[in-house]
Structures are given as structure tokens and as C-alpha cells.
Amino acid sequence: MSAHSERLENAFYFLTDVDSHKDDEIADNPNVCLAFADFKGQKYVSVSGSAEVLNDREKIKELWATPAKAWWESPDDPAIRILKLNPHSAEYWDSPGTVISYIKMAAAALTSAKPDMGDNATVTM
């Protein structure tokens, strides 16, 4: 799924298919978590919030992009739905990478100092 972020709306949108049963899952439990990773830079973001499934045909056309063609022929396909996430909080990590982290942990164990494992913060939205 490709995430479409709408900063002014404080929302993330995804196109999904009615046959994926997301609407049933979200009706049972609307609390969701998104995870994003940039493995090259060792950056991670986790976004928690509540989700809802929409059948807004105009918004589907607005969100339509080339990757969606892998699943549907056009934005007019009646099976397309929107999964909307309203974020409540997010946490990010900016890590120095696995090898460097191990070196820092080993050096810290030898010197009894705490290793600098990068930045981490939580944001409430």
C-alpha cells in the first residue's frame, strides 16, 4: 500500500479493495499503527491512530496514481475503498546503523558509559 499524507487534514490515506475486508477489521478495532522505515539511513517512524474506511469516489480519484493500476484498471472501479488513518501519536528513531550500533555498545560495555544510539522522540498529534 502506498501512503498518501495530507498534512492539513492530519491524515494518511491508502487505497484498498473492498474484498480485503479492511472495513470488517476496522469495525472490530479501529486502532492501527503504521510503520515506515528508511533502511539505508536507519530511520524509523511508527504512527498510531484510528482508522476508518471510506467510499468517497472524488477522494479516490484525487488519490489515484500509477501504482494503483497494479490492482485496478481505473479510479472508477467500484471495489476501491479508502483507508483513512487519523494519527494520534508518532515516534521516530534515527539510528547510526547496525554495525556502528554494535561497536558503540561494545565500547560502552568496556568503558561503563552509555552508548549514543541516535535520536528518539515521541510526538502527540
Residue 25 has pLDDT above 80, yes or no: yes
User: Mean pLDDT throughout 27-51?
Assistant: 89
Domain count, the chain: 1
- Could you tell me the pLDDT band of residue 90, with boundaries at 50, 70 and 90? very high
CB-based contacts of 23-28 (< 8 A; 24+ apart in sequence): 23/53, 23/81, 26/51, 26/52, 26/53, 26/83
CATH number at residue 43: 2.30.110.10
Query: For position 40, what pLDDT does the model report?
Result: 73
Range of the domain at 40: 4-124
Query: For position 121, what pLDDT does the model report?
Result: 65
Query: For position 33, what pLDDT does the model report?
Result: 94
- Could you tell me the pLDDT band of residue 89, with boundaries at 50, 70 and 90? very high
